[in-house]
Structures are given as structure tokens and as C-alpha cells.
Structure 1
């Protein structure tokens, strides 16, 4: 990988957002097209779509899941290899899930963070997990982390408060919807764009905004 230009990809996301998972898959397809030219560092940043959800979750209101909208998301998921079950009857509180992502980011230069994000999306959207403390500990253990370290980290109130504050500050930085992407520290776009959009914008970031270190979006 030496000698290849670096592209830092920062993704502002919430693991209860189906389009964030779809966007992840499309990003990865774009990256795959460019692996011969560039090297990539993907980092997940916290956002809370519903910051007032209590720890036990919040029942999804009747009629919230529009059948046509669900069908659109299911089809979009299938096109990138995602199986949405939409079996949950409640919105989850995702703060502990974000804490696990932060823990993963702090280990080995974040080598496992993208895998953890994938596992969290699958746990909620495919397996119907509510991302409770036990669910998040299990995801962390399956990703190769010590379960007691995970539990200690995701229940540390100071860490949770800091993650909450960071997530809330995203709105003040102009993030109004997720997924939101920064490439090499540059604001790019939001939404699960097509693969060719990712390929083009990743290339622009590498060539016009070269970096030597991780961006701090």
C-alpha cells in the first residue's frame, strides 16, 4: 500500500438508519473499484436520529412504516446484498452502539471499526436485536473484543455523555441527514448515492485534497 495516495473517509451515521447501511455497501463498492490506485481509512462518527429515545427504546408509531417506502428500502437493500427484516417494533437507543464503534476506533488504528458497524447494522435490521447492552456486548465479542472491556466502555457514563455531545454537535456543523460523508476532511454529500458517485468523489478527494494524516471531521 506504500506510495498510494490516502483517502480518509469519515461517515456520520446512526445504526438505526437503513440508508446508512445501504450507503456503506455502495461506498465499499466504490472503494473496491479504486483499491489499485488509493488506500483508504474508513471511520464512523456518531449521529443520533432520535436523541430523546430512552434506554429501553421507543415503540414505533402505528402507520410509521409506509408499505411503499418499506418496499423501496427492501429492494435497495437486496441490490447491495442486505436483507432487511424490519421485525423490530421499537426504535432503539443507539448510544451504546456508538460507544462500541468508538472503542473499535481506538484499537489498532480502527482496523475493526468498519466490521463492527456492519455487525451492528445486521443485528438491528436483519436479526431484530434492540441493541441493548447485552446485544452490543455480544456484537463486540463476535468482532474480537474482550466482552468485559466492551461492557465497561459502553456503560461508562462520561464516555456516553461525550459521545452524545459529539453526536448532537454534528447538526451545528451542517449535518442535517445521514449518512453524511467527508473525504479527506472535505464535506462531500449525504445519502446512499450510486457507486459511480462514490468512485468519482473519492478520486477527486485523493487528487485535489491530498492528506498525510487522518481528518478530524
Structure 2
């Protein structure tokens, strides 16, 4: 039996990015199909779509209309398309008129710590579900502490981290690192530091790309 090809995967994304939720679910399904073929080492990298937002956020429909120059009907159509794509992957996308978009910097600080603890994927999926499926405020420290506990992290340490400003410099450094290398939209999946898979691709696209990269790495 051949040894699985090791792949380092840097998944650059934001908590409030619907295509990032789709991309992560697609990536995980592709890796499940490749079980035994590759050994994936996934690192979650921070990207803020809206770093200027206050903690309390703003109405998501108003925000999208202003940011992209579209009207309410176009926002609704985009959401319907995303809802369909997400449902096909088993992810419930429930954003609608009245939903809000929040500042995600503290969520990224918490994710940085979660990676050090080996619980980053569990926390990331909890955050995406809380925001997109349950409509929760992912800037709220109370919500973040609860999600940390649900992901298997120590809630007391999570609260202390959020209140102290820990890992702010580390998150900023990682954000700059990927921006300086040309990552200006997310999700961006970078394999072995050189291969870019852009956007929330379907599982079969991820699967084919990862097979090709693994084969080329094997020589």
C-alpha cells in the first residue's frame, strides 16, 4: 500500500464569508474522497472582508448593496444561489433580510489560539454554523466563549484571551503575509505553498486539483 502524499493546506478565509463556508465544506468532502491517498495538514489563515466594521456590525443587506452596488433583489438572488449550493453540501445557510454582518477580528484571534490547541477546524465550523445557520453575533465575546467550549476548548481561557487582546499581532501578521502574496479575495486554498485553488469550488474540483498536486509531489 502506498504512503499517503503529505499536503500542507492553507485555507485563507473569513468567518462572515458565505463562499468560505461552502469552500471549507467542499474541501472536507474532497479530502474524504481522497482518504488514504493524501495526508492533509490544514491551517486556517485569517482574512477580514470588513475590518472597518464596528463590533455591533450593521445590516447585512444594506452593507452588501453599498459594497457591491447592487439592489435588494440582487442580494436576495445571490442568497438564494448560495443557499442552494450550501444545502447540497449539507450546510444550512439562513441569511435573509434583517441579518447582520459583524467585525470578525476577535473570532480570528480565537481561531489562532484554537490552532495552537489543535481545535481550529472544530471552532471554525462552529463559528460558520453560528453565523450563517443560527444568525448569531460572532463579535460577541459571550457567543465566542460558548462556541470555544463547544469546540472542546477551555471557556475560561477563551474569555481571558478575548479580554486581553492576545494574538492580535499574530493575526495581523498573517493577514499581511497573504495579502502581500496576492490574496485579496477569499476563500483561497493554497496547497504546499505554491498551488492556489481560488473560491468556493465544488468538491470534485478540489478532489481533482489535490490528486494532481499529490501526484506531481510524488514525482
Tell me whether the two structures share a fold, i.e. TM-score over 0.5: yes
Q: Contact (CA 8 Å) 2:197, 2:206: kept in 1 or not?
A: no
CA gap 1:21/1:9 in 2 versus in 1, 3 angstroms: same
Q: TM-score, normalised by structure 2?
A: 0.86
Q: Contact (CA 8 Å) 1:154, 1:160: kept in 2 or not?
A: no
Deviation of 1:172 after TM superposition, in Å, equals 2.0
Any stretches of 5+ residues in structure 2 without a counterpart? 66-71
State the distance in 2 between where 1:103 and 1:2 align: 34
Show the counterpart of 1:204.
Answer: 212
State the distance in 1 between where 2:207 and 2:76 align: 32
| Higher mean displacement: 95-104 or 57-66 | 57-66
CA gap 1:97/1:5 in 2 versus in 1, 3 angstroms: same
1:78 is aligned to 2:82: no
State the distance in 2 between where 1:165 and 1:38 align: 29
SS at match of 1:83: coil
Show the counterpart of 2:149.
Answer: 141
Spell out the pairing of 1:169-188 with structure 2 (5 A cutoff): 169-188=177-196
State the distance in 2 between where 1:169 and 1:50 align: 18
Q: Contact (CA 8 Å) 1:56, 1:93: kept in 2 or not?
A: yes
State the distance in 1 between where 2:184 and 2:61 align: 23
Any stretches of 5+ residues in structure 1 without a counterpart? 211-217
Task: Please give the root-mean-square deviation of Cα atoms over the aligned residues, in Å.
Answer: 2.0
Q: TM-score, normalised by structure 1?
A: 0.87
Show the counterpart of 1:56.
Answer: 56
Deviation of 1:208 after TM superposition, in Å, equals 2.2
What is the CA deviation profile of residues 55-89 of structure 1, one whole-angstrom value per residue up to 9, with x for unaligned ones? 22233353735111111011111111111111563
Deviation of 1:158 after TM superposition, in Å, equals 4.9
Deviation of 1:150 after TM superposition, in Å, equals 0.9
Show the counterpart of 2:112.
Answer: 102
SS at match of 2:82: helix
Superposition misfits of 4+ residues, deviation over 4 angstroms: none
Spell out the pairing of 1:19-38 with structure 2 (5 A cutoff): 19-38=19-38
CA gap 1:7/1:174 in 2 versus in 1, 3 angstroms: same
What is the CA deviation profile of residues 129-181 of structure 1, one whole-angstrom value per residue up to 9, with x for unaligned ones? 11111111110011111111111223332522431343244322101210001
